[in-house]
Amino acid sequence: MSGETDSEVVLPSTPATEDGEREDQSDLAGKNILSVLQKAAGLAGGNSRYAVDIALRLSDQLCAAGNRVAQLEARVAELEAEAQHCREKSERAEQWLSKISNEIQQQVTGSYS
């Protein structure tokens, strides 16, 4: 297994014939490395902008969901209060029906005695 990966730049070996040739190849290698670095920086910047855009959209959605939850909680509280009011009215109505029923029974049984 060699230690090379796909992202490594492999430079051909240069013969030590002339200083000019080695310098030209060094310039070419340096330019290639800078070009690769610039492309990588551009991709990283694009990825960063994309991630920030997604984070902003998710933040907006989370805020909207939080607002909706607050609205629903308020509505639930209103409905619970309304349900409690209806239970109380129902209990009072049952008490009145019980009193009326007792009164009718007393009058019916009292008239037969």
In a domain, 2, yes or no: no
In a domain, 40, yes or no: yes
Q: How many domains does the chain have?
A: 1
The yes-or-no verdict on residue 5 having pLDDT over 50 is no
In a domain, 100, yes or no: yes
Buried b (16+ CB within 10 A) or exposed e, 71-105: eeeeeeeeeeeeeeeeeeeeeeeeeeeeeeeeeee
For residue 47, the enclosing domain spans 18-106
Identify which has the larger pLDDT, 21 or 18.
21
Amino acid in position 16: A
* Cα-Cα end-to-end distance for the chain: 113
* pLDDT at residue 9, as a whole number: 52
The yes-or-no verdict on residue 87 having pLDDT over 50 is yes
In a domain, 113, yes or no: no
In a domain, 60, yes or no: yes
* pLDDT at residue 110, as a whole number: 82
The yes-or-no verdict on residue 47 having pLDDT over 70 is yes
